[in-house]
Amino acid sequence: MTLTKDHIRASIQNQLGVSKSESSHFVESIQETIRKTLESGEDVLITGFGKFTVREKGARRGRNPKNGEHLTLEPRRVVTFKCSRVIRDRLNGKG
């Protein structure tokens, strides 16, 4: 099962005993803070969870898989995520 924003909102609502609108506001505020930070090119580190990093990718040669035509892919920025050692150890049964 995929964890959705609604699942996160419901979990916050149940754990903190706040209203649905308050928990939705919490989730939206956190999401907006992360989004703005990444848009400005800064990293987001959540201790015990992981680090989101903005990476620059240069222009590169590509190929249209539909017709095989060669093309140039424009430079772009992408977000990468590296999980913390705590999460990695738990996933591998070490913690």
Mean pLDDT of the chain: 95
Query: What's residue 1's pLDDT?
Result: 86
Inform me whether the pLDDT recorded for 68 exceeds 80: yes
Residues 6+ apart with CB under 8 A from 89: 95
Question: Per-domain residue ranges for the chain?
Answer: 1-40, 41-95
* Tens-place pLDDT, residues 29-65: 999 999 999 999 999 999 999 999 999 999 999 999 9
In terms of Cβ atoms closer than 10 Å to its own Cβ (0-12, 13-18, 19+), residue 23 is buried
Inform me whether the pLDDT recorded for 94 exceeds 90: no
Task: Note whether 9 and 24 are within 8 A (CB).
Answer: yes
Query: What's residue 49's pLDDT?
Result: 95
Task: Note whether 44 and 38 are within 8 A (CB).
Answer: yes
Q: Does the predicted model carry a pTM greater than 0.95?
A: no
**Superfamily of domain 41-95 in the CATH hierarchy:** IHF-like DNA-binding proteins (4.10.520.10)
Task: Note whether 12 and 26 are within 8 A (CB).
Answer: yes
Q: Give the whole-angstrom CA distance, residue 9 versus residue 21.
A: 9
